[in-house]
Amino acid sequence: MTGTTTGITVAIIPARGGSKGVPGKNLRRVGGVPLVERAVRAAATADGIDLVVVSTDDERIAAVAHAAGARTIARPAELSGDTASSESALLHALDVLEADGIRVATVVFVQATSPFLPSAGIAEAAAHIAAGRFDSVLSAHETYGFLWRRDGDGNAVAINHVAAHRPRRQDREPHYLETGAFYAFDAQGFRAAGHRFFGRIGIVEVPASTAIEIDDEQQLALADALARAAGDALAPHNIGDLHNLGTIPADGSETAQNSERADAGCRADATNPAPAGIAAPARIPASVLVTDFDGVHTDDTAFVDSEGCETVRVSREDGMGVSRLRRAGIPMLILSTEQNPVVARRAEKLQVPVLHGVDDKASALAAWADENGIALADIAYVGNDVNDLGPLGLVGWPIAVADAHPAVKAVARVVLSRGGGRGAVREVIERMLPR
């Protein structure tokens, strides 16, 4: 613990289950990651934070927060309505912690609805309070904008400038616009004031590009698009510079090559030339891999001969990848709705367990994970079509193949550069293997 002699520094994230503007807002995904998980991870990686707490009235939010490493506190119903203040949730969380013998010196109030939380800014805010430089601190970005308001007659009235005088930017004093992303304050002073602003108030300046706050579906869509464009879904420093993004390279025509055929005993395998290597971008730190079959191991087409024998195309480099995954001791499962001998045949050849003929894939996955003592947050699930949306919504790493249905790509944390049956499984395995 890095707390002072009078207590520790705690980041508290209030996250209600109810939201009128964006239903289930705190569990909605930006860059494939639930908003509450993004907040927990940003706070947990900030220097000087000793404990991350999520206060919630929702069991699903609590489960995601716990899996991300936060302590959860059950928020009473009377503090969870639309009119309840954030301050009331913070005070309740402090009461619970102190009843457990945890003395809190500094509180960092973090908003899950701000998807691009800068960990460095959180650390700076906590340090200001711990050092006694300020009593409370807010996050804000610099602005030189000319602000106006309407009077009672609807006329425009200048606020932060004289309308008749229009100075150059370099001649103006900057103002700071509060982002709402995070605040920090002395715990004892907060209890006395009952509000986040008191005493000496400081500003932690953050980039304007991190100031998006999710209040409606349009803002959620914009944030998700920015996260995916930036390549690193959790790194706010990438958001402001979309000209220097680390993106996954396009696969090109090479993906249509290097496949084999897996059948149900109709004919022997037919192979193409050996595959080229796959370059692995950012590592996927999941510890278990679960995949759909059709459209992931295959290109989602089937060949049927005159005798009704069905054959599908699969990638030999996927097979090599699965072999490497087994040697690394990383568990894998194939989960398919198809009751087809070809699925069992391919799984047997790969030496991978399979559940097929499954109608409710989400329930089957949850039961399998529970039976094997695996946390859903540790699973990477690769899918391609709408029947994969259930399991994709359960796991920590929802992944879509390159040619997946748009609805699948929309919820994916990672969209691969390769399509089903064209090296997608190998690509995700290469990104999961220890480096």
Range scoring the smallest mean pLDDT among 270-279, 288-297, 409-418: 270-279
Quick one: pLDDT at residue 286?
A: 93
Q: Minimal CA–CA distance to 369: which of 358, 387, 381?
A: 381
pLDDT band at 3 (very low <50, low <70, confident <90, very high): very low
* Interval 123-169: pLDDT, tens: 999 999 999 999 999 999 999 888 899 999 999 999 988 888 888 88
Residue 222's Cβ-count burial label (10 Å; 0-12, 13-18, 19+) is: middle
Helix (H) or strand (E) holding 231: none
Structure confidence at residue 22 (pLDDT): 83
Go through 143-172 and write b for each residue having 16 or more CB atoms within 10 A of its CB, e for each that does not: eeeeeeeeeeeeeeeeeebeeeeeeeeeee
pLDDT, tens digit (0-9, with 9 covering 90-100), for 119-131? 999 999 999 999 9
In which band, very low, low, confident or very high, does the pLDDT at 276 lie, cut at 50, 70 and 90? very low
* Residue predicted with more confidence, 260 or 65: 65
Burial of 77 per CB tally in 10 Å (0-12, 13-18, 19+): exposed
Average pLDDT of span 72-86: 87
> What is the distance between the alpha carbons of residues 328 and 129, in angstroms, rounded to a whole number?
45
Q: Is the pLDDT of residue 232 over 70?
A: no
pLDDT top residue among 302 and 356: 356
Extract the tokens encoding 431: 């990104």
The letter for the amino acid at 355 is L
* Residue 9 and residue 94 in contact, taking contact as beta carbons nearer than 8 Å: no
C-beta neighbour count of 336 within 10 angstroms? 24
Q: Collapse the DSSP code of 64 into the 3-class scheme (helix H, G, I; strand E, B; otherwise coil) and give the result.
A: helix
pTM confidence score:
0.68
